[in-house]
Amino acid sequence: MSKRSITLVGRASRLECHAGHVSFLLTVNAKGQRPELVVECHAHRERDIEAFESMDEGSLVGIIGKLQTLVEQLGPCIVRLDRLEILGKPLEVAA
């Protein structure tokens, strides 16, 4: 397992609380012909958990953390957060 620091901005979804940590998916839009990047974010620090509690589905967030690449990764990459910042409100969907 390798660890590298990563900084991303995207929309949060699938917000979940667990014993001792919180997790969510972060979807980052790509430029050009590239597909979206989806990473699973895990926050363990108290201040990040407090920030998570004020997030809504679809909130714009910025993260800094360590990328954890597993040898047989089947799902999204996992990022263990060092910092979580809420940058904006969820997108409003036109009716």
CATH number at residue 35: 2.40.50.140
Residue 21 covered by a domain: yes
Residue 73 covered by a domain: yes
Residue 60 covered by a domain: yes
pLDDT band at 95 (very low <50, low <70, confident <90, very high): low
Residue 79 covered by a domain: yes
Count: domains in the chain = 1
pLDDT digits over 22-54, tens only? 999 999 998 888 888 899 999 999 999 899 998
Residue 14 covered by a domain: yes
Quote the domain boundaries for residue 42. Answer: 2-88
Size of the chain in residues: 95
